[in-house]
Amino acid sequence: MVVVSFRIRKCHFVQLLATCLVLSTVMVCWEELDNKVVSHVKSYSFRYLINSFTYINKSLTIPHKQARSFSNFHYLLDHPEKCANQDVLLLLFVKSSPKNIERRNAIRSTWGNESYIQNTLGVTVRVLFALGAPTTKENEPSWSRKSGFGFQEQLVEEDRLHRDLIQKDFVDSFYNLTLKLILQFHWVHSRCAHARFFMTADDDIFVHMPNLLKYLQNESARGVTDFWVGRVHRGAPPVRSKYSKYYVSFETYPWLSYPDYTAGAAYVVSRDVAAKIYQATLALNASIHIDDVFMGICASAMGLSPQEHPYFAGEGKAPYHPCIYDQMITSHSHVDDIYDLWRAATDPQPLTTRTTVQQKWREMSELFKSKVLSQISA
């Protein structure tokens, strides 16, 4: 008798202990759980079950005069003639920040080399860099501090050499990315509205230009409109944790889910879409600082929705594999290796006749591995 009740109590005790453990874990991690699980469940139900797209309402619309406060910054650097009298297939804006001169130079001498693309692929492409103004010390590279030569003067010098910086006088910072987005669509509207496609990309991206241009030429020949492709985020919930850099308050965005949008790393729109986004920026409150989300809000206000393309990368790298590699369009998080990727992309031998496919792939993987290892040991 005594033994049985002892067993029961022991068993209850274990149950009680387990329950307490689970409850305390849930309590400690509640915010995390709420952000990761609950908010996604809520947002998906909201997005797909309740009222799909009708939630963004007039509360984001503001008078034109107030909307202008997001766009009426002065140009510090500009090239109004860049597209003039040219049949431009693609205008590509790279979102860069003043200190990233090395990334800009790498892009200029690889996938962003306009004259190479013109000569070898026979396509007119314009590649420009969108910048805000440098102000803070940490934004300043060491060579600038040492030389005592102002940072803005360095940019002016860089621009004199390459004539490809478009800069306005708002502070270049993560929280001002939406201002940079607006800069791009306004520039396109006033200087390059006839380009058949417009693309925006981060400055640590690799673009496989031959694949991208082949794809766009085909789409252009079919006369596509309402074209907006990239890696699509569907029914993403706003981050409500104040510690995240993606935090968005209920006041700024009261709904449970963002409209579908393409990852800001790289996406392409046709010129009619670019014109509609421009129109939307004239009437919407742009105080949400996440630029790709704001693009999604503009698009949804204009009745546009994005298309997924499997060969556009989101946050990640495209895996190094020859089969993927021969079709990839963009891949994210590349800085040092873009020269190698570009060499491989412009290899004149087609994949099927390459005797060195395996070797190339092995080289790529080795390179990747050594990069990762050096990063780990650094």
Cα-flanking dihedrals φ and ψ of residue 94, to 5°? -100, 125
Which of 113, 154 has the CB closer to ligand NAG? 113
Handedness of CA 281, 282, 283, 287 (dihedral sign): positive
Pairing of strands 90-95, 125-133: parallel
Piece in contact with ligand NAG (CB under 6 A), picked from 56-64, 75-83, 201-209, 272-280: 56-64
Piece in contact with ligand NAG (CB under 6 A), picked from 90-98, 112-120, 138-146, 262-270: 112-120
Reported in sequence order, the residue ranges of 203-354 that DSSP labels E, i.e. its strands, are: 205-207, 228-233, 261-270, 307-308, 330-332
Size of the residue set binding ligand NAG (CB under 6 A): 22
CA 348 to chain CA mean position, Å: 30
Q: What is the token pair recorded at 364?
A: 């790529």
Q: How far apart are CA 318 and CA 124, in angstroms?
A: 26
Which of 116, 311 has the CB closer to ligand NAG? 116
Residues 266-295 close enough to bind ligand NAG by CB under 6 A? 285, 287
Quick check: 229 and 270 in contact, CB under 8 A? Answer: no
Piece in contact with ligand NAG (CB under 6 A), picked from 33-41, 113-121, 122-130, 338-346: 113-121
Orientation angle between helical segments 209-221 and 338-345, nearest 10 degrees: 50
Q: How far apart are CA 135 and CA 127, in angstroms?
A: 25
Q: How far is the CB of 56 from ligand NAG (least distance, A)?
A: 8
Is residue 52 part of the contact set for ligand NAG (CB under 6 A)? no
Contacting residue, 24, 45, 57, 356, with ligand NAG by CB under 6 A: 57
Which of 254, 319 has the CB closer to ligand NAG? 254
Is residue 111 part of the contact set for ligand NAG (CB under 6 A)? no
Piece in contact with ligand NAG (CB under 6 A), picked from 33-41, 77-85, 88-96, 171-179: 171-179
Question: Within 10 A of 190 (CB to CB), how many other CB atoms are there?
Answer: 10
Q: How far is the CB of 49 from ligand NAG (least distance, A)?
A: 16
Which of 64, 146 has the CB closer to ligand NAG? 64
Is residue 97 part of the contact set for ligand NAG (CB under 6 A)? no
Is residue 51 part of the contact set for ligand NAG (CB under 6 A)? no
Reported in sequence order, the residue ranges of the chain that DSSP labels E, i.e. its strands, are: 75-77, 90-95, 125-133, 165-171, 197-202, 205-207, 228-233, 261-270, 307-308, 330-332
Q: What is the token pair recorded at 375?
A: 């990063």
Pairing of strands 197-202, 90-95: parallel
Q: How far is the CB of 286 from ligand NAG (least distance, A)?
A: 8
Which of 45, 374 has the CB closer to ligand NAG? 45
Which of 19, 66 has the CB closer to ligand NAG? 66
Binding residues vs ligand NAG (CB under 6 A): 57-59, 62, 66, 108-109, 113, 115-116, 119, 170-171, 173, 175-176, 218, 251-252, 254, 285, 287
